[in-house]
Structure 1
Amino acid sequence: MAFPKVEELTDLIRPVTDARGFDIENVKTVKAGKKSQVVVAVSGDEAPTLDQLEEVSNELSELFDDAEERGTVNFGAGYTLEVTTPGIDLPLTELRHWRRNRGRLVKVGGETFRVGPCDEATEQVVLIVPVKKGEPGVRVVPISDVSGAVVEIEFNTPPQTEIELAEKSFGEVAEDSTTGKDDK
């Protein structure tokens, strides 16, 4: 059997992560000589704890060992398994990424926004446009139209007006805005 493809490993891993309510954000394999490295990044609505990551790692290790014994995967002369979280540099590409980062600053194409509420049905997100003085602006955009968004680390306390907007429901914010335009 050949070295496992990422898609095969993802299918093998999915029941373990699904059972815990985690999403697989990335699976990476590196064949390094006789040994192999498998890195699995998982996330959830609640960030996984170190204990949970250890439990997933132990389950996946058993799963991989069993699959190797059955001959369904071949890691060569063994493997190193790393189970981690994706970190803040994960690009926001899925609705769940936006929902999980509500209230945080994101950088999109050189501009900075605060993530507001999402509309699950239409897969739109409210982007709050920070302003130095006055009220923040609001943009309602389809998530599919936003590319390259990443979370920005914020050291200062966010303005209360931005936090209040981010905490409102999608309907409350969207009805007061014009889609795709700043409401100033």
Structure 2
Amino acid sequence: MAFPTVEELAQLIAPAVDPRGLDVEEIKVTRAGKKSVVAIRLDSDARPTLDEIEEVATDVSELFDAAEASGSANFGAGYTLEVSTPGVDLPLTASRHWRRNRHRLVKVDGAHVWRIGALNDDETSVILIAHGRKKPGGEDVVEKRLSDVDSAVVEIEFNNPPAAELELSGLSYAEATKWREDNK
């Protein structure tokens, strides 16, 4: 039996992550000689604590050991397990990523940097606030369909965010679209 696939690993770890309401953002297996590194990135709206990550890592390790002992999985010469939360370099590919990074800066489609505002009720569109510039025509707030975004990555911000941008990013979707209409 070969080393478990990413899909098989996702099924194996489900009993450890699902009851805790965690999302599996990434499972990556890297071969390191005879051994492998299994890296699992977990997240949730409540942001998992270090203690929760440690508990999940213990549970996942026990699940892997049990699967190997039963013969349903083969980890070969062994593995190193890394369980953590995703870093800021995780691309925003799902609506939950946008929701969890509200108020942060994001580079959209490799071009301009925006501050993330609210999502609409069905989480298909997001409010973006122009960062550090005025858009032509004075349009500081735009609505962007998530399906129209090719790439988006959080930008690290070293300074305190401008108060005006934070205020706009704190508005609900409806309030932000009204603000946009009132300030054209």
Q: Same fold (TM over 0.5)?
A: yes
Q: Which has the higher helix share?
A: 2
Q: CA RMSD in A?
A: 1.9
1:33: how far off? 2.9
CA contact (8 A) 2:35 2:77 kept: yes
CA contact (8 A) 2:134 2:140 kept: no
1:136/1:153 Cα in 2 relative to 1: closer, same or farther (>3 Å)? farther
What TM-score do the two structures reach when normalised by structure 2?
0.90
**Counterpart for residue 75 of structure 2:** 75
Across the two proteins, how many residue pairs are aligned to each other?
A: 180
Larger displacement relative to structure 2 (31-40 or 132-141): 132-141
Deviations 1:73-92 (A, max 9, x none): 11102111110111100001
1:122: how far off? 4.8
Aligned-residue identity in percent: 53
CA contact (8 A) 1:10 1:27 kept: yes
**Counterpart for residue 141 of structure 1:** 144
- Give the letter for the 1:118 counterpart: L
**Counterpart for residue 116 of structure 1:** 117
**Counterpart for residue 96 of structure 1:** 96
Deviations 1:141-173 (A, max 9, x none): 111111221111112222211111111111111
- How do 1:18-57 residues align onto structure 2 when only pairs under 5 Å count? 18-57=18-57
Larger displacement relative to structure 2 (86-95 or 157-166): 157-166
CA contact (8 A) 2:23 2:42 kept: yes
CA contact (8 A) 1:105 1:115 kept: yes
1:120/1:133 Cα in 2 relative to 1: closer, same or farther (>3 Å)? closer
What TM-score do the two structures reach when normalised by structure 1?
0.90
Structure 1 residues without counterparts, runs of 5 or longer: none
**Counterpart for residue 128 of structure 2:** 127
**Counterpart for residue 171 of structure 1:** 174
- Give the letter for the 1:154 counterpart: E
